[in-house]
């Protein structure tokens, strides 16, 4: 393989995966810091954009560089600091905090808690969402995924303590399932700051909690600075209270002793442990060796063409900017997910599953919190559990999927549109929220992903599978097994995340399979079937663990989702037959159709502007009509586009048909529907629409083309095309 002069495409894919694995090894797991993640993203861009060297000596050198970098980082590793944290809720049937915390610390925490949350104002334990009826800590120090590879008798062991905002500290307990409190609770989970300039501190943790660190002997000569209240351990395990802001040197007598930070009142605690120069030197040396190792890997393994890095850098930079302006905590922090949201359920179950996996309870892990899947995204809980192994107490795994979306979108646009429109449209998709009026834009995907919902993951993976199956070239994917296998597997994974994409997947895979059968492309057909087969593991799970024959999940008949069950249509016809135009069935159907034709816009419509949304109905009706035209009309498009484009149009119509039964008022259910619609409409406009407009209105078309802004846009597009060629 390594000595091949012209390695196959499969070898290139395998080689790039191996190169990325070496990069992850040099960075080290978990990748839970901003610096480590940025280096990983940079390495990924270089590897995927460049051309690998397949000479044996290059791979031997790369392996040697990785081994030296990893061994050197282990040798130079600075001393680790034992750190523990947890929510503070006194009482409960099993008062582990009272028994496990130092008595002085517990008494002070309990005193502060009673002042902040008087018993007279506690919510009723029987009220749904009250903290008193939800659950209490079951261990002194909460489980932390950061401690999987670096265990501690507390929550985790870290190389630095420096925080002023707990959202950036990675407090995993904030998203444990038993702390699913609703607004009825007197203790709240978090508060959102909607001011534009507060993107770095969008979320404020309002849960009462505490922090505990054990000072290593190597930190003697450094100092601990803090804001708020801390308790410093002295002789005989007694703790003294320190109020307000301050700094204190770490003395030999402090080695091995603990310091507790008290955070009952929100936004009051900050701590920074400044190491002595020797420890700081080790930190610098370890970081420098990691960077040097990554650079060495890239130099010996990859031939880099700077031009090929421009577009990825632009797409990533613009995506990160948009996410950062909305909610920067998604870029490496860990926000407390909203009480009652699907996101808190998924991550709460995922954290429990991860602990079962670490304890060797494979059955508990596979059950996934439900013997029969009910919540409509069973795959996300497994993905989040694995994400916490690789990325620790962050959502960087989900962020990686979101950051990949612009590249998938660009690939689909480039597959069906002529230059330079793919670049223009993908930049508009990311940065210009015009898609809010059409029910699909990048903002929607990262907004719901940051809330922990499964919908964005499903749609992104579906589009990636679509791109793999149609191929990134105009001549199509050909009769190859591996692309068909990968595309089918991605489609199956999309259904695992959200079964709502089943109609589009059925139409597209069914059409692709029939085409492969018609063309005698047996390898492609077998790849599609084998790749998609894991989708039936959902039904197998429900049968084995729940003894129920449920294909995907059991909430498909929930009345808030299935607003028009089949039984509603006879009732609607009965109302029409009796000229009852205000009947409940007809009213529900009309309301659902209006929500559908407004494009499921996520834009908040207020006051008189709320009526303006109905202006969008003709736009969306026209878009659906164009999709129907493309699906049924033959020989009107470029032959290299026509078969796959018609199949995508059929998949879009299948997704649109969902609104005949399921609610159209929940916008996130229909992002994929409108994206596929938009893709078909764009191709239609480029190949037919603009030409028709030019013939029908030649004077107006000429004025538009000669307008100074059009000419400037044309020059800019020409430059961008040359720069990224």
Residue 248's SS3 state is strand
Tell me which H or E stretch contains 484: helix 481-497
Are residues 213 and 256 in contact, defined by beta-carbon separation less than 8 angstroms?
Answer: no
Helices 307-327 & 34-49 angle (0-180, nearest 10): 150
Model pLDDT, residue 634 = 61
Read off the tokens for 515.
Answer: 């085409």
Provide the CA 389 distance to its chain's centre, in angstroms. Answer: 15
Residue with tokens 């990262």: 446
User: Of 534, 527, 434, whose CA–CA distance to 484 is shortest?
Assistant: 527
83 has which bridge partners? 156, 213
Model pLDDT, residue 606 = 43
Distance CA 685, CA 689 (A): 4
Model pLDDT, residue 6 = 52
Read off the tokens for 421.
Answer: 């429109």
Read off the tokens for 703.
Answer: 């004025």
- Is 556 exposed, middle or buried (CB count within 10 Å of its CB: 0-12, 13-18, 19+)? middle
- Is 283 exposed, middle or buried (CB count within 10 Å of its CB: 0-12, 13-18, 19+)? middle
- Indicate the DSSP class of residue 86: E
Statement: residue 568 has pLDDT above 90: no
Distance CA 201, CA 327 (A): 8
Distance CA 78, CA 278 (A): 9
CA pseudo-torsion sign 398, 399, 405, 408: negative
* Apex 348 CA angle, 343 and 354, nearest 5: 125
Statement: residue 639 has pLDDT above 60: no
Average pLDDT over residues 329-344: 92
Average pLDDT over residues 144-153: 93
Alpha helix (H) ranges present in 598-697?
Answer: 609-612, 616-632, 642-656, 671-684, 690-696
- Peptide bond before 420: cis, by omega within 30 degrees of 0? yes
Are residues 430 and 324 in contact, defined by beta-carbon separation less than 8 angstroms?
Answer: no
Alpha-carbon torsion angle 542, 547, 548, 554, nearest 10: -50
Q: Which residues of 497-511 are buried (b: 16+ CB within 10 A; e: fewer)?
A: bbbbbbbbbebbbeb
Model pLDDT, residue 558 = 77
CA pseudo-torsion sign 701, 707, 709, 710: positive
Q: What are the pLDDT digits (tens) for 418-438?
A: 887 888 889 989 988 766 666
Radius of gyration of the chain (CA): 28
Average pLDDT over residues 563-574: 87
Q: What are the pLDDT digits (tens) for 86-117?
A: 999 998 888 999 999 999 999 999 999 999 99
Name 657's Cβ contacts closer than 8 Å, sequence gap at least 6: 503
Distance CA 248, CA 687 (A): 71
272 has which bridge partners? 162, 225
For residue 600, name the pLDDT band (cuts at 50, 70, 90).
low
Model pLDDT, residue 701 = 63
Residue 392's SS3 state is coil
Distance CA 300, CA 723 (A): 26
Average pLDDT over residues 680-694: 79
Higher pLDDT, 633 or 85: 85
Read off the tokens for 152.
Answer: 């501690």
Beta strands in 19-60 (DSSP E): 51-52
- Is 643 exposed, middle or buried (CB count within 10 Å of its CB: 0-12, 13-18, 19+)? middle
Mean pLDDT of all residues in the chain? 88
For residue 1, name the pLDDT band (cuts at 50, 70, 90).
very low
Model pLDDT, residue 424 = 85
Are residues 232 and 271 in contact, defined by beta-carbon separation less than 8 angstroms?
Answer: no
Average pLDDT over residues 254-271: 95
Q: What are the pLDDT digits (tens) for 283-313?
A: 999 999 999 999 999 999 999 888 889 899 9
Q: What are the pLDDT digits (tens) for 165-223?
A: 999 999 999 999 999 998 899 999 999 988 888 888 889 999 999 999 999 999 999 99
Read off the tokens for 187.
Answer: 């203790």
Average pLDDT over residues 590-597: 84
For residue 714, name the pLDDT band (cuts at 50, 70, 90).
low
């Amino acid at each position: 393989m390594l000595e091949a002069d012209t390695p196959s495409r499969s070898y290139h894919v395998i080689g790039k995966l191996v190169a990325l694995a070496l990069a992850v090894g040099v960075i080290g797991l978990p990748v839970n810091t901003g610096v480590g993640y940025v280096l990983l993203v940079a390495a990924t861009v270089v590897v995927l954009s460049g051309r690998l060297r397949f000479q044996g000596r290059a791979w031997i050198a790369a392996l040697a560089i990785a081994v030296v970098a990893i061994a050197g980082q282990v040798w130079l590793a600075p001393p680790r600091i034992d750190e523990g944290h947890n929510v503070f809720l006194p009482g409960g049937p099993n008062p582990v905090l009272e028994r496990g915390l130092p008595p002085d610390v517990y008494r002070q925490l309990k005193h502060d808690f009673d002042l902040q949350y008087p018993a007279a104002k506690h919510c009723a334990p029987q009220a749904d969402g009250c903290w008193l009826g939800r659950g209490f800590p079951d261990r002194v120090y909460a489980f932390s995924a950061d401690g999987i590879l670096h265990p501690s008798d507390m929550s985790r062991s870290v190389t630095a303590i420096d925080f002023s905002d707990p959202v950036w500290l990675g407090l995993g307990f904030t998203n444990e399932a038993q702390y699913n409190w609703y607004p009825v609770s007197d203790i709240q989970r978090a508060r959102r700051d909607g001011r534009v300039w507060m993107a770095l501190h969008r979320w404020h943790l309002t849960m009462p909690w505490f922090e505990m660190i054990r000072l290593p002997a190597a930190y003697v000569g450094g100092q601990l600075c803090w804001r708020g209240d801390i308790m410093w351990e002295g002789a005989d395990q007694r703790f003294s209270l320190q109020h307000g802001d301050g700094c204190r040197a770490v003395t030999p007598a402090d080695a091995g002793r603990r310091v507790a930070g008290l955070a009952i009142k929100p936004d009051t605690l900050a701590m920074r442990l400044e190491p002595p120069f020797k420890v700081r030197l080790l930190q610098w040396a370890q970081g420098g060796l990691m960077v040097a190792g990554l650079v060495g890997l890239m130099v010996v393994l990859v031939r880099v063409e700077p031009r090929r890095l421009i577009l990825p850098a632009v797409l990533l930079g613009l995506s990160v900017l948009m996410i950062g302006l909305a909610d920067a905590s998604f870029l490496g922090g860990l926000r407390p997910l909203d009480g009652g949201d699907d996101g808190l359920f998924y991550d709460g179950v995922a954290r429990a599953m991860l602990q079962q996996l670490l304890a060797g309870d494979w059955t508990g892990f596979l059950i996934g919190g439900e013997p029969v899947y009910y919540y409509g995204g069973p795959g996300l809980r497994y993905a989040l559990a694995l994400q916490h192994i690789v990325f620790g107490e962050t959502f960087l795994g989900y962020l990686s999927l979101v950051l990949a979306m612009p590249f998938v979108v660009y690939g689909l646009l480039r597959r069906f549109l002529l230059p330079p429109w793919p670049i223009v449209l993908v930049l508009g998709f990311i940065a210009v929220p015009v898609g809010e009026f059409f029910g699909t834009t990048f903002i929607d995907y990262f907004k719901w992903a940051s809330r922990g919902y499964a919908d964005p993951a499903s749609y992104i993976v579906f589009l990636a599978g679509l791109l793999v199956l149609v191929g990134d070239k105009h001549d199509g994917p050909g009769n190859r097994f591996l692309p068909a296998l990968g595309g089918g597997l991605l489609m199956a994974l999309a259904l695992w995340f959200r079964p709502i994409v089943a109609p589009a997947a059925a139409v597209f895979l069914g059409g692709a399979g029939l085409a492969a059968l018609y063309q005698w492309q047996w390898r492609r057909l077998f790849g599609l079937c084998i790749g998609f087969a894991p989708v039936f593991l959902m039904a197998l799970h429900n049968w084995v663990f729940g003894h129920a024959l449920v294909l995907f999940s059991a909430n498909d008949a929930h009345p808030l989702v299935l607003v028009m069950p089949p039984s509603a249509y006879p009732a609607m016809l009965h109302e029409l037959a009796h000229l009852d135009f205000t009947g409940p069935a007809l009213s529900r159907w009309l309301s659902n159709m209006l929500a559908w034709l407004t494009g499921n816009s996520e834009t908040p419509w207020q006051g008189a502007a709320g009526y303006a949304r109905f202006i969008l109905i003709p736009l969306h009706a026209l878009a659906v009509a164009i999709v129907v035209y493309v699906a049924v009309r033959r020989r009107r498009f470029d032959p290299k586009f026509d078969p796959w484009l018609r199949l995508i149009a059929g998949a879009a119509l299948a997704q649109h048909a969902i609104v005949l039964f399921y609610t159209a008022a929940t916008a996130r259910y229909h992002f994929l529907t409108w994206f596929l619609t938009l893709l078909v409409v764009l191709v239609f406009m480029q190949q037919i629409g603009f030409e028709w407009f030019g013939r029908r209105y030649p004077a107006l078309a000429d004025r538009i083309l000669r307008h100074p802004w059009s000419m400037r846009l044309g020059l800019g597009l020409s430059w961008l095309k040359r720069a990224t060629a």
